[in-house]
A and B are shown apart, each in its own frame.
Chain A
């Protein structure tokens, strides 16, 4: 291998403090919100950047060219996260934006991303995705993209090494710490509990906007079937959206710390003791049996 192609799928999500929802169409009004790079996707990008560094250091003699391509699908303003990714160290970016792609659920998203990867990097070695995006929180696109690309995959990867055409992984899955090995090409998803992302350098940002390699692809460019409209083709439909946060009728205590703690135990000693699994009743108050 004289060349390694790493791909990172990233997503722009609305800043968590804003939830611009269109109640008529029941979709996120992303154009209304300021976006940010999804945190898990940012960790995935960091993982790719760190792997590249490790491999470049290892292969001083071999002189491998390791290229990182970031791909995002979304409205035109998603280009922001590609520029940001370039500033962090990615080599090139691909923006998939087309009204026909709007409203895709995870099944259709994975097909579109898969088609794009086959188009721009047919010789890819490893695809990185965030383990779950902070907006819809499905965590489904990674595994479904692996299916679309027909490659082995592992989710929740915390450590990885690439060596001689395969990848070795450590991950925590349902309390099992697993060490796995897969042949390349493959796909991994990265949870936001490892590979903490670097800050974005301002010089890199300026350069990414000046001469960064970002190309935009439409549905036709990746040979999506002409009658594929994502919103229609997606098997799942959102029928209702609501906010569960109703303000609670709560009990309010104030005063000196000692007093409120006494009051707290007077009213809730069973609840506190029950949760802690401890008997917190004062023994001299217990009625002898």
Chain B
């Protein structure tokens, strides 16, 4: 334990493992920034029967892994995990703690930071080390319209929750082995103040829009409720999900669940179709993460058309109809 390097911790968030590989992405980023601060990449794994994850994190770039494996930790617990993480951090004094910005991470991270009396930057999309050796955390605000670079000059550790999908994970390498340090469950652990009565896995119930690889968004420019319905057929053909703007929701053409916007859902598909949407900021802010945007609007100068990779100046409804027809032809022929 003579290693005096600065520890960079990554919280091992494995609950949604196959959907969400953010822990692996963070291990990769931690490896990338480690040289600049003479850092040692560590993972912290709390839970029960977590050997599989310990092994996986090692193969994905952790140099050292702290593990507390105990039956009492078999379900995720904000209370207990916070207690254990804080206790461990107070003992080991890491320089940096990175936590995936999953729902759990965004509830757990703030509590750890509060108890450690340190700063925390939310939902980061960039992590760099500056000339002073400080972690520069880039965080979005106002629905991605502004990015802020934030540092924590004095307090330690420097903490960030990090948006999934930003960093590329290091390929699995069985030859990489981490030093595994078992931390026994301390005897004085307080009882969990939150009693978990039931927990059901809901694959994608509410997340389908957020996770969809193809999203079809429609606005009032579709013309009418019956025309708007065509978007669902298009979505079916493209394995996509349908989103809607606020005026569409108000007109009752689609359920509130479908709202893509400030008070609704943020989407990040590989392909976004935007039909008849002019692009109020409440909506555009929620689609900035789309990889490729095809917008259709009669008005070539609509904001949405400027954001698009392909801007089609034409009637949204007619293009939708033509697209459906062409897709059916192509799907039949293959």
Contacts and interface: CB of A to CB of B under 8 A. Distances in A.
Interface of A: 16-17, 19, 21, 26, 39, 105-107, 110, 132, 134-144, 146-148, 151-156, 168, 172-183, 192-193, 196, 234-245, 247-248, 250-258, 260-262, 264-265, 268-269, 271-272, 274-284
Q: Which of A134, A144, A261, A284 has the most CB of B within 10 A?
A: A261
A280 B238 CA distance: 10
Contacts of B111: 143-144, 146-147, 153
A234 B104 contact: no
Contact of B271 (A142, A152, A275): A275
B239 A192 contact: no
B119 A107 contact: yes
B146 A243 contact: yes
A123 B155 CA distance: 33
A243 to B, nearest CB: 6
Given A17-B281, A144-B111, A175 B142 contact: no
A193 B205 CA distance: 13
Contact residues on B (Cβ < 8 Å of other chain), bracket? 35 or more
Given A239-B151, A248-B307, A174 B16 contact: yes
Contact of B147 (A241, A255, A283): A241
Given A250-B311, A276-B240, A19 B142 contact: yes
B322 interface: yes
B333 A282 contact: yes
Interface of B: 15-16, 19-20, 78-79, 102-104, 106-111, 113-115, 117-123, 136, 139-155, 193-207, 213-214, 237-240, 256, 262-264, 269-271, 281-282, 285, 288, 292, 294, 300, 305-315, 318-319, 321-323, 325-327, 329-331, 333-334
16 contacts: A134-B263, A140-B109, A155-B107, A174-B16, A175-B207, A180-B197, A236-B120, A243-B146, A245-B288, A251-B309, A251-B311, A253-B311, A254-B300, A254-B314, A258-B322, A260-B312
B312 A254 contact: yes
Contacts of A282: 329-330, 333-334
Nearest to B106: A139
Given A237-B150, A276-B271, A179 B198 contact: yes
Contact of B312 (A17, A264, A271): A264
Given A143-B107, A175-B203, A243 B147 contact: yes
A251 B310 contact: yes
Contacts of B203: 175
Contacts of B149: 238-242
A289 to B, nearest CB: 15
A174 B102 CA distance: 7
A106 B314 contact: no
A153 B78 contact: yes
Given A175-B205, A271-B271, A276-B239, A16 B143 contact: yes
A107 B306 contact: no
Nearest to B13: A174
Contacts of A178: 196, 198-199
B310 A268 contact: yes
A17 B118 CA distance: 32
Of all A-B residue pairs in the complex, the 7 with the closest CB atoms, nearest first, are A235-B119, A236-B119, A152-B193, A275-B271, A235-B155, A138-B122, A257-B318
